[in-house]
Amino acid sequence: MTSAKVSSAKYRTELYNGRHQFFADEPAEIGGADTAPAPDELLEAALASCSAITIKMYAERKGWTLAAAEVNVSLVRINGKTTIHREIALQGELDQEQKDRLLQIAKLCPVSKTLAGEIDILSTLK
């Protein structure tokens, strides 16, 4: 579970997941202080990091020579529709078949599966 607490510092939000404290904020152009990533940027980071880690884990299990995996994620909303672009760059001694497989593996990372699946958000007051 992750908790979020916003108080007197405009939109700066303290986040805590039980092990780590981190922050979110909004850009200055919409009233924030831009002291931390915006919530959408945290979502992009979640997908990018999950994809990169999943690719690395799979390559290690297979014994493939993956020197680095860089994943860039951007989110765009147009007319109520959200489109997420994920671009993956792989470095290492990989043939095309291995690269294609790692692309498929990225699509199976837990965050990717969550975002692509059916989601229900249940909200309650405490």
| pLDDT by position in tens, the chain (length 126) | 999 999 888 999 999 999 999 999 999 999 999 999 999 999 999 999 999 999 999 999 999 999 999 999 999 999 999 999 999 999 999 999 999 999 999 999 999 999 999 999 999 999
Three-state DSSP at 17 gives coil
Shared domain check, 92 and 103: yes
Q: What is the CA radius of gyration of the chain?
A: 18
Shared domain check, 44 and 23: no
C-alpha 79/C-alpha 89 separation (Å) is 30
DSSP symbol at 30: G
Shared domain check, 66 and 55: yes
Q: Please report whether residue 55 resides in a domain.
A: yes
Shared domain check, 7 and 58: no
Question: Domains in the chain: how many in total?
Answer: 2
CATH (domain of 58)? 3.30.300.20
Domain that holds residue 4: 1-36
> What is the DSSP code string of 94-122?
--HHHHHHHHHHHTTSHHHHHHHS-----
